[in-house]
Chains A and B, each alone.
Chain A
Amino acid sequence: LAADAVQEAFASALERLATFRGDARLGTWLYRIVYTKAIDQLRRRGREESLDEPAMDAQDATLGSAPTWSHPPDEILFGAETRAALDQALEMLTPTQRAVFALRELEGRSTAEVSHLLDLPVGTVRVYLHRARMRLRDLLSPHFSGATP
């Protein structure tokens, strides 16, 4: 899916390059195209239901219930292995949660930048980020706890 979206986005960007007006940075413009293509593909594959999330309070009631990590993650797994564990956990997020979390935490962009890139209000970005962080904590917690040396 990701590969298809990236390829389709590059093809679309090449076609539309002449329409790029320079109002945003080229990277921002391209990221929006990739994000839109990825969401389009999910909808075509009938996975748009994952974009509709339960109400904040209902979902939050199930979050944060996992045990805390017994060791800091970087003391247990390193490099590619850690990346694989994180990637697997990221797959469990909804597409929007994943996009928000990746931009904020993996790319180090500010909340305002994420809001601009994904065309979401800042408050909505914070809600998605909160859900993503709590979900990842829950998902990775047993993994790290179980990896006690």
Chain B
Amino acid sequence: LNCDELRKRLTEHIDQSLASDLCREVERHLAECPECAEMEHDLHDLQRLCRECPPPRLPKALRERVEKMLQED
């Protein structure tokens, strides 16, 4: 795998959905290529950021509008 080919596979790799032989190839490349390894690390950080962020809240005005609709129905 070259770097371009590997980067197209990164999403499947971090989702653990690659076939085992391809997964081994990806891991071999990551062990030898600091730039691609850094990119994978960043994608894991992005996942962690999403997990640790407070969940989005429905804006108060919208929540009130929806609740009013439900009461009127």
Q: Which residues of A contact B (CB under 8 A)?
A: 3, 6-7, 10-11, 14, 56, 60, 63-64, 68-69, 72-74, 79-80, 82-83, 86-87, 105-106, 108, 111, 126, 129-130, 133-134, 136-137, 140-141
Contacts and interface: CB of A to CB of B under 8 A. Distances in A.
Interface in B25-71: 38-39, 41-43, 45-56, 58-59, 61-62, 65-66, 69-70
Chain B: interface size category: 20 to 34
Nearest to A15: B73
Given A60-B7, A111-B17, A133-B43, A14 B62 contact: no
Interface of B: 4, 7-8, 10-12, 15, 17, 38-39, 41-43, 45-56, 58-59, 61-62, 65-66, 69-70, 73
Contacts, number: 86
Nearest to B34: A68
28 contacts: A3-B59, A3-B61, A7-B62, A7-B65, A7-B69, A10-B66, A10-B69, A60-B4, A64-B39, A72-B48, A73-B46, A74-B45, A74-B49, A74-B52, A79-B53, A82-B52, A83-B56, A86-B53, A105-B47, A106-B55, A108-B51, A130-B10, A133-B10, A133-B11, A133-B46, A137-B39, A140-B49, A141-B42
A14 B49 contact: no
